Amino acid sequence: MEAHWDAHKERLRAYIISKVDDLSAVDDILQEVYFKAHTRQHTLKSEESMGGWLYRIAYNTIMDHFRQQKPWEELPDYLEAPVEDESEQVYSGLVECLQPLMDELPDKYRLPLQLAELDGFTQKQVAEQLGLSLTAAKSRIQRARVKLRERYTDCCAIEVGRSGVTDYYPRDSQRSCTP
């Protein structure tokens, strides 16, 4: 093993240098390659494949080196979490209002809309799930959107700006836009 190691040592070192920018880590990695090769030489199938075997060990050791590195710095504790954007808060409130209104829709429209919009199914998957043709599923989803929009605009007034919905409030004191 020592004779083969000496024959490949400098080329392995050059290979490691080409992959790792930190020169102080190169010799540590090379030593780790030697240790792994020495302890695993029983896995070597033939001496003719010694070079490729050593390079494979070197490659894996380099990958282990990078996995152990933290590519980021920990943020200090005094930094606060970002404040949720006001339009995002309005949007979140608006989404909470939709579920009760969706529940009022007939199952024929509510189920396809829920699968498509809330559960993230494609329209084709909705059709398969509900045993409908693709055309029927698309039609029901579209009709459900229209019915939901009608119910929502009957319930709440919506203010729309450049970034989307900016505010909403109940139209009728009997019915609320909040859950």
pLDDT at 58: 92
* pLDDT tens digit at each of 179 positions of the chain: 677 677 888 999 999 999 998 888 999 999 999 999 888 888 877 777 788 888 999 999 999 998 888 777 777 877 776 666 666 666 666 667 677 888 889 999 999 998 998 788 999 999 999 999 999 999 999 999 999 888 877 877 777 777 777 777 777 655 555 44
Q: pTM of this prediction?
A: 0.44
**Whole-number Å distance between alpha carbons of 105 and 163:** 28
Torsion, Cα of 71, 77, 78, 83 (10° steps): 80
Domain range 97-156, CATH class:
mainly alpha
Domain ranges of the chain: 2-68, 97-156
* Nearest alpha-carbon partner for 179 in 109, 98, 74: 98
pLDDT at 26: 92
Domain range 2-68, CATH class:
mainly alpha
pLDDT at 83: 65
The β-bridge relationship of strands 156-161 and 164-170 is antiparallel
**Residue with the two structure tokens 């005094």:** 78
**Whole-number Å distance between alpha carbons of 143 and 35:** 68
pLDDT at 61: 93
pLDDT at 179: 44
